[in-house]
Amino acid sequence: MIKIKFEPTKNNVGCFIFNDLKNISQDQINEIKKLLNKFGVIFFKNQNLNPKQYVDFSSNFGVPAKYPMLKPHKDFKNIYIIERKKTDTGKSFGEGPHTDSSYLENPPRFTFLQAVDVPEEGKGNTLFFNQFLAYKSLPKNIKEKIENLKGIFSSKGKIAKTRLLREAEHGTSDIKEIKSEHNLVQNIDGKKAIYCSPGHVVGIKNLKSGQKKLISFLSSHQTKKVFSYSFGWKKGDIALWSNRSMLHAATAFSGDRRMFRITIQ
Ligand SMILES: [Fe+2]
């Protein structure tokens, strides 16, 4: 059996995998799943999968989720297109740390992003913030405080501003608020992670005072540089992350870029 070759990123935020995804066995998929649980994000460099190969690979991780705010691929309805033109002004899609669709009752567990067309390397990086590491280094009293608390997540949180702008660009106008509650601490394979999407959390359930203070403390702790890694895209690269243990954020850039996203329920 060919082993999965992997290498952790700087700060241990995620890992690179170098195997060719076009020829991958079930044993190797199982190993990748273990690495995904362990690290939270995996970067597959220089893969150049066609849409069918991409969809087939992603189907090993679960059932694809719908995302009505983005335009689907014309032949592969579970691929959603994130596109920016050189002439676009304003913020990029997904700027500001968040986890995808965390205002839903069952947010997508995993997100795949594939670089189809990208500007030169170093432009339009995606930032990742490892929430296992963030949890581990929380002060003991905060760990105890948040252990049984639930956050209130809203589709009209801070990041909605960029989403609404994008919706306006794409002609959809469904701006009804969606809200859900989730535990601020998630347990994944016996490891704890902070789950508090700064782009979406608007309150904390049953906390009589100090909600804003706690949210702002967590947000700045979660996004410390020491828990972060900035991934620079090249055409053909794929990133796969767990939305339960990783925050991510797009960075500002100008240029032509086309990415294919698949989320897994
Ligand atoms: Fe996102």
Tell me the pLDDT tens digit for each residue of 231-242.
Answer: 999 999 999 999
Residue 130, pLDDT > 60, answer: yes
Closest CA to 155 of 96, 95, 103: 103
Provide the pLDDT confidence category of residue 170 given band limits of 50, 70 and 90.
Answer: low
Query: For the chain, what are the domain ranges?
Result: 6-264
Residue 166, pLDDT > 90, answer: no
C-alpha 97 – ligand 1 centre gap (Å) = 8
Residue 67 has which token pair? Answer: 């995302």
C-alpha 209 – ligand 1 centre gap (Å) = 30
The CB density around residue 31, as the number of other CB atoms within 10 Å, is 18
C-alpha 25 – ligand 1 centre gap (Å) = 29
Percent over 70 (pLDDT), the chain: 94
Residue 154 has which token pair? Answer: 């809203």
Q: pLDDT tens digit string along 64-89? A: 999 878 899 999 999 999 999 989 88
C-alpha 66 – ligand 1 centre gap (Å) = 14
Considering the four listed CATH numbers 1.20.120.50, 3.20.20.150, 3.30.1600.10, 3.60.130.10, the one that applies to the domain covering 6-264 is 3.60.130.10
Closest CA to 102 of 50, 212, 180, 23: 180
Q: pLDDT tens digit string along 216-256? A: 999 999 999 999 999 999 999 999 999 999 999 999 888 99
Average pLDDT, rounded, for the chain? 93
Residue 47, pLDDT > 90, answer: yes
Which pLDDT does position 171 carry in this prediction?
57
CA dihedral 208, 210, 212, 218 (to 10 degrees): -110
